[in-house]
Amino acid sequence: MTGHYPKNSLEIQAKFLQNKRHYAVSKVHLVRRRPFMKTAALCLNVVCCFFIVIFAGCSQSDLQGKDLPVMEKRDNFRWPDGKRAAISLTFDDARHSQITNGVPILDEYGTKATFYVSIPNLDRGLDAWKAAAANGHEIGNHTLTHPCSGNFPFIGDRALEDYNLDRMRHELTESNATIERLLDVRPVSFAYPCGQKYVGRGRNLKSYVPLVAEAFWTGRGWMDEWANDPAFCDTAQLMAMELDGKDFEQVKQVIDRTLANGGWLVFCGHEIAEDGRQTTRSSTLKALCEYAQDPANGLWLDTVEAITRHIRKQRTGKAG
């Protein structure tokens, strides 16, 4: 009878011994590797700890530098004298009612505002504007000719779509020179006419925000929906909320929201009277001044320049 079994018991024994030796050798190799594996694991732990320390040190260094996370910046920022928020009142275009109605109200309450003047409108009340500037109201730049989008029918040949950066630079520098000559002040604050910040159109469109950032401390927008975060905001693009046509209850809602966030609320108006188109109501202006002057409300009401000076000092340690 034939089969596939080993020929005899000696062959079976030999195979068993061969397998046993192979198992024993493998076990020895495994045992020998264990000290090496333990050493490798220890080295890996040391390397990981090293990098954790390095990264932790870098993070701590970053927290002490200028590139702080937004929340850290907010935690480090302080308004002066324990105030909880700031407000700036700004008015555009040198409208005549600003001089005849607005400035007397502001002076009555000892409040200073920022006026972004349009050069052609200064002639009508030049002496009054000189007096306002001498009395501490801030005079800001609003360009030489007030260019806006050509979609506005009143713009004519001052359409931003037809401008380039050189032409806009001329608007800024000539306006500053004219204001300095007429009112003996050199503006550090700017407001974008119509809140628009571009020249050109389509693929050739350019932002002129960098020109404003180069020439001024601040550039103020228009028709925005929120207050500025003083620790974070781009001062070349300050947000501004409309004051025209609002009663004080509407204004107070925005102020209360700003107080809750510790922000800087910039209001913008045009005419100042009790009613009319693009008009800040005299009654609202009076109520706002009274509310801001109450120490219990924790508000700092001042010009854009004054508040910017404080923000620059908080951010850099330098006021100018």
Would you mind telling me the total number of residues written for the chain in this entry? 320
**pLDDT the model gives residue 76:** 82
Q: What is the CATH number of the domain that holds 168?
A: 3.20.20.370
Q: First CA to last CA across the chain, in angstroms? A: 111
For residues 30 and 161, state if they share a domain.
Answer: no
Co-location of 119 and 184 in the same domain: yes
Are residues 141 and 37 both part of a single domain? Answer: no
Beta-bridge partner residues of 300? 86
Q: Is 265 exposed, middle or buried (0-12, 13-18, 19+ CB in 10 A)?
A: buried
User: pLDDT above 90 covers what percent of the chain?
Assistant: 74
In a domain, 214, yes or no: yes
How high is the pLDDT of residue 162? 98
Q: Tell me, yes or no, whether 237 and 187 share the same domain.
A: yes
Q: Take residue 62 and report the two structure tokens written for it.
A: 């970053």
Domain co-membership, 291 together with 215: yes
Query: How many structural domains compose the chain?
Result: 2
Is the confidence at residue 24, as pLDDT, over 80? no
Residue 117 and residue 237 in one domain = yes
Looking at the fold, whether 21 and 163 belong to one and the same domain comes out as no
Structure confidence at residue 251 (pLDDT): 97
Mean pLDDT of the region 151-171: 97
129 and 232 together in one domain: yes
Least confident range from 44-48, 76-80, 159-163: namely: 44-48
Q: Is residue 75 part of a domain?
A: no
pTM, two decimal places: 0.78
Mean pLDDT across 140-154: 97
Q: Which of 49-58, 153-162, 235-244, 261-270 has the lowest mean pLDDT?
A: 49-58
pLDDT at 219: 99
Q: Report the pLDDT value the prediction gives residue 223, as an integer from 0 to 100.
A: 93
Q: Does residue 73 form part of some domain?
A: no
Residue 55's domain comprises: 8-61
Q: Please state the rounded mean pLDDT for residues 277-285.
A: 97
CA–CA distance, 129 with 7 (Å, rounded to integer):
123
In a domain, 121, yes or no: yes
Tell me: do 218 and 109 sit in the same domain: yes
pLDDT of residue 319: 59
Integer Cα distance of 48 and 62 in angstroms: 21
Same domain, 142 and 240: yes
Do 155 and 300 lie in one domain? The reply is yes
Contacts of 158 (CB under 8 A, 6+ apart): 145, 146, 147, 148
**Confidence band for 289, pLDDT divided at 50, 70 and 90:** very high
Higher pLDDT, 230 or 33: 230
Give domain status of residue 70, yes or no: no
Residue 299 is assigned to a structural domain of this protein = yes
Among 24, 46, 61, which residue terminates a domain?
61
pLDDT at 317: 74
* 301 lies in some domain: yes
Let me know whether 247 and 102 are in one domain.
Answer: yes
- Residue 293, pLDDT score: 95
Asked whether residue 71 is assigned to any structural domain, the reply reads no
In this structure, are residues 265 and 258 in contact, taking their beta carbons and an 8 Å threshold? yes
What Cα–Cα distance (Å) separates residue 257 from each residue in 153, 209, 224?
37, 28, 15
